[in-house]
Amino acid sequence: MTGEGLGSLPVPNLSSPNLGGLESFAFEPYRIEKPWGWELVWAKTDRYCGKLLHIQKGGQLSLQFHREKDETVYVHEGRIEIEIGAAGDPIPDSEVVGPGASFRIEPGTVHRLRALEDTLVLEVSTPELDDVVRLEDQYGRADE
């Protein structure tokens, strides 16, 4: 998968004379290891966040919802099974999707992503990164 090395790419030398003082605008991406793969936060402000999620084959995120966080995910590479349902639905719908699939996940929406092969997902969201209410988690994690 072409996206696997993205989290370990060196940060470009921002002191280059060709950049002409762009240092004050730069954001240093950071990688967070997860039991299902990793995420790379490439943008974070008080209004939005941008991430890459690499979910390794067989890995899955928690069955979860957010109280405040509003996010949209886009499958860039690979295939996932997505479980998604509105707040109060007894059982989330489940579907297998591939590159080009995109879903808005509003607060209260129960959801989980499970990778059927190594998968790269792009996520944009509001900045409440710790707003995770886990309903199930195969890795034994509590709410973050």
Residue 39: inside a domain: yes
Residue 72: inside a domain: yes
Counted domains in the chain = 1
Residue 19: inside a domain: no
Nearest to 123 by CA among 35, 57, 25, 54: 54
Residue 61: inside a domain: yes
- What averages of pLDDT result for each successive group of 10 residues across the chain (144 residues)? 45 59 88 98 98 98 97 98 88 92 96 98 97 94 71
Residue 24: inside a domain: no
Element (H, E) at 51: strand 49-55
CATH of the domain at 67: 2.60.120.10
**Residue 138 · residue 144 · CB < 8 Å:** no
CA angle (40, 41, 46) in 5-degree steps: 170
C-alpha to C-alpha distance for 106 and 70, rounded to whole angstroms:
5
Structure tokens at 133: 């209410």
Residue 127: inside a domain: yes
Helix/strand/coil for 88: coil
Domain residues for the domain of 131 are 30-136
pTM above 0.85, yes or no: no
Predicted local distance difference test score (pLDDT) of residue 3: 42
Predicted local distance difference test score (pLDDT) of residue 7: 46
